[in-house]
A and B are shown apart, each in its own frame.
Chain A
């Protein structure tokens, strides 16, 4: 997409959604050369981030006379709302942590600054697919990637052996595995289809090649109900309907128990799964193994992503250059990345850091799978590009409603998908965006 067109698209969005106030607020940029020390504030939810930032404040930050203060936040969609509210008052912090799917929302509200001039060099540290999420396909750069969540297949190695199952390499084999397990042990499920975390479905669709939001000229095009996503929806809907897998939501006490007692023996998840499994299924540590996500066709090798976030500089920042410098350091410097991994449990977006330092030893929960991190890095390299739009939160809510009901009633998933598409398009139009049909 050409640069100018996108800028215009963004400008229109801003004018429509915020009115003239926002434009007036961001008109007061001062690009004067800095003379005194700078202090920046940083909203982040990553635990232990204050310790990582201390490294900056005592090291490079001291030299540059840029000090950063961490203000710990809760993650999630509500933080995006909070940032936008603060931005309306011109009080947004200098730096924010933002999930990739929130970036278009923040950019279309003019909350994030273009820092391509300051962090352009950082591009080499990341894969193309990751970096593209922070540029939104333009020449601008709105954030520096921090962590990623490439999706993988987790399974109980011991129980797979017990039931005589092979690790599925394709989704067809996955379905066969689920059916074979049902025959051997009717009370055990391979896994569940859960509608309470939209990121999972979005990642699965991404793997299948779906592009949910694209731009066509100056219009948004919503492809939630496209062929690739429909394929994914039909696949999971079919498995739920025939009873080959469970339909209970995940992250509930019942789900934890099912994992902990071997009633569910696999989980389609992402690189952060070891942490979740540690709390959900503490008794099964050492019994799980990780494999790449099943593929749609034999020779393929792609995965989706579930989760991941970036560091952005807001338009309200008084010193965007200094803020961008910190953002680049935090997410590309070897020492910083190592600290991020150790203190915050972050799986870094920077490729060099994925196998070094903190990732020499496998996670405790997977201590027997020695190549856990090198395998994870291989999977991460195959992440399909993603396409986020300015109302991901609306699509996600629609997903939870429609698919939650469909999974519970074992009804038609494609109808739920159409409902999700309609809700997303209707909201875009309501917000004043032009939508291509």
Chain B
């Protein structure tokens, strides 16, 4: 992580060697933007650096040694975390992955269908539906958690994997994004041409429109993935069995153990550190699709 940070911020510090190859002459560094960006980077990366360093400290070092002095307890912390209640941490990690991957995939699929339909078809109530959706974008999902719980309780689905997955599949923001993207990326002429050639609507959607929408859907997937990975309140209310907890909830139970037992800070810090990796890996992998997105936009306009 720290090496990542270095690699990203180092080029910005001087006149970037990469850019020097692209441009014929060395340009002077713009001081104000560089300093501003550096400050921003420090602001964002300092807490990450803290987690990285704190995870290497043993329990007695955590609060007593200098904040940014690496400690000696990383392997011990790892094995403690691994041993805590027979490795329940990895169960939480697996649960988080399940919720986030399945939820984000399904959410992207639903957003694709709904967004495409809203963008391409003209039907009565389309605008009204879209406006309701926009209102949904403005509504923080947090306030829906309790009503959703009561609803799922009626269906007898609480304290199950489905209870966390289902409410997160429909994302108003995802549908909104998919519609805007479909309207821009799928030309009406192409859809019309498909119809002329006798393709069914479903075939036009899956074979022609969907590939064009991929960069937008990647964005939806990514947003939903991060949102679900970081979600706290919904699983907190829905789940009572800690074997089904995602990582956020699991770490919270380590912190709030009641007054009799002190919080397991070292485990929580190490656990939080490890929990960042899947997100970083995801962003590194998906970055390619994102730059594709930017490129295609640049070529078109």
Which positions in A face B, CB cutoff 8 Å? Answer: 41, 43, 45-47, 71-76, 78, 82, 85-86, 88-91, 93, 147, 149, 199, 253, 256-257, 260-261, 270, 272, 275-276, 278-280, 282-283, 306-309, 344-347
| B9 CB, nearest partner CB in chain A, Å | 26
From residue 137 to 166 of chain B, which have CB atoms closer than 8 A to chain A?
146, 149-150, 153-154, 158-159
Asked whether B167 is an interface residue with its Cβ less than 8 Å from the other chain, the reply is no
Q: What's the least CB distance linking A18 to chain B, in Å?
A: 13
Q: Which of B95-103, B256-264, B275-283 contacts A (4 or more CB under 8 A)?
A: B256-264
The reply on B74 being an interface residue by CB < 8 A is no
A257 contacts B63, C-beta separation under 8 Å: yes
A279-B257 Cα distance, complex, nearest whole Å:
14
> Are A46 and B64 interface neighbours, CB within 8 A?
no
Give min CB distance, B8 to chain A, whole Å: 28
* Binding-face segment, B39-47, B107-115, B233-241, B291-299: B233-241
Query: In whole angstroms, what is the CA distance A214 to B17 when docked?
Result: 74
Residues in chain B near residue A344, CB distance under 8 A: 260-261
Offer 8 A-B interface pairs, CB within 8 angstroms, sorted by A: A43-B240, A74-B249, A74-B257, A85-B150, A89-B154, A276-B262, A278-B262, A309-B258
A41, A147, A257, A276: the one within 8 Å of B64 (CB): A257
Q: What is the CA–CA distance of A276 and B63 in the complex, to the nearest angstrom?
A: 13
Task: Assess the A46–B258 pair: CB atoms within 8 A.
Answer: yes
Choose among A71, A72, A149, A278 the residue that contacts B259 (Cβ–Cβ < 8 A).
A149
Residue contact A270 to B149, C-beta cutoff 8 Å? no
Nearest CB in chain A to that of B254: its residue: A74
Q: Which residues of B contact A345 (CB under 8 A)?
A: 260-261
Within the complex, what minimum Cβ distance (angstroms) separates A130 from chain B? 16
Q: Assess whether B252 is in contact with A71, with CB atoms less than 8 Å apart.
A: no
Contact A307 B240 (CB under 8 A): no
Rounded to whole Å, the gap between the CB of B257 and the closest CB of chain A is 5
Task: Check A41/B240 contact, CB under 8 A, given A72-B253, A279-B59.
Answer: yes
B274 at interface (Cβ–Cβ under 8 A)?
no
Residues in B whose Cβ lies below 8 Å from that of A93: 240
Distance between Cα atoms of A430 and B150 in the complex (Å): 24
Query: Contact between B259 and A89 (Cβ–Cβ < 8 Å)?
Result: no
- State whether A71 and B240 are in contact (beta carbons under 8 Å apart), knowing that A260-B64, A279-B265 are contacts in the complex: yes
Q: Smallest distance from the beta carbon of B81 to chain A beta carbons, Å?
A: 15
Q: What is the 8 Å Cβ interface bit string for chain B, positions 55-78, against chain A (1 contact, 0 not)?
A: 000011001100100000000000
Which 10 pairs of residues, A with B, have the shortest CB-CB distance? A89-B153, A74-B256, A256-B63, A307-B259, A282-B60, A75-B258, A72-B242, A74-B253, A279-B262, A345-B260
- A82-B236 in contact (CB<8A): yes
Residue of chain B at shortest CB distance from A197: B259
- Judge whether B240 and A347 touch: CB under 8 Å: no
- Distance in angstroms from B263 CB to nearest chain A CB is 8
CB within 8 A of B153: which of A74, A76, A91, A309? A91
Q: Is the CB of A147 within 8 A of B260?
A: yes
* CA distance in complex: A73, B159 (Å): 13
- Say yes or no: B63 contacts A280, CB within 8 Å: yes
In Å, the complex CA distance between A283 and B64 comes to: 9
Shortest C-beta distance, A62 to chain B (Å), equals 23
- Answer yes or no: B255 CB below 8 A from chain A CBs: yes
Q: How far is the CA of A306 from the CA of B260 in the complex (A)?
A: 11
Residues of B within 8 A of A41 (CB): 240
Minimum C-beta distance from A233 to chain B (A): 23
Q: Is the CB of B240 within 8 A of A89?
A: no
State which of A46, A253, A308 has its C-beta within 8 Å of the C-beta of B63: A253
Q: Are A46 and B260 in contact (CB under 8 A)?
A: yes
In the assembled complex, the Cα of A78 lies from the Cα of B253 at a distance in Å of: 12
Verify B60–A74 contact, CB threshold 8 A.
Answer: no
Shortest CB-to-CB span from A303 to chain B, Å, is: 16
Chain B residue nearest in CB terms to A282: B60
**A47, B257: Cβ atoms under 8 Å?**
yes
Measured in the bound complex, the distance between the Cα atoms of B153 and A88 in whole Å is: 10
**Cβ of A282 and Cβ of B260 under 8 Å apart?**
no
**A282-B59 CB under 8 A given contacts A41-B240, A89-B150:** yes
Compute how far the CA of A253 lies from the CA of B149 in the bound complex, rounded to whole angstroms: 37
Q: Are A82 and B259 in contact (CB under 8 A)?
A: no
What residues of B have a CB within 8 angstroms of the CB of A272 in the complex?
259-260
CB neighbours (8 Å) of B256 from chain A are: 45, 74-76
The CA-CA distance from A272 to B159 in the complex, in Å, is 33
Residue of A at shortest CB range from B153? A89
Complex CA gap A299/B2 in Å reads 61
Task: Please tell me if the beta carbons of A89 and B158 are within 8 angstroms of each other in the complex.
Answer: yes
A203 to chain B, nearest CB (A): 11
Per the bound structure, the CA–CA distance linking A199 and B256 in Å amounts to: 15
Contacts of A78 in B (CB 8 A): 236
For B265, give the chain A residue with the smallest CB separation: A279
Q: Which of B237, B241, B242 contacts A85 (CB 8 A)?
A: B237
Shortest CB distance B91–A (Å): 12
Find chain A residues with CB under 8 A from B67 CB.
253
Question: In the complex the two chains form, what is the Cα distance from A78 to B260 in whole Å?
Answer: 18
Asked whether A75 and B240 contact (CB < 8 A) given A282-B59, A282-B60, the answer is: no
B260 touches A89 (CB 8 A): no
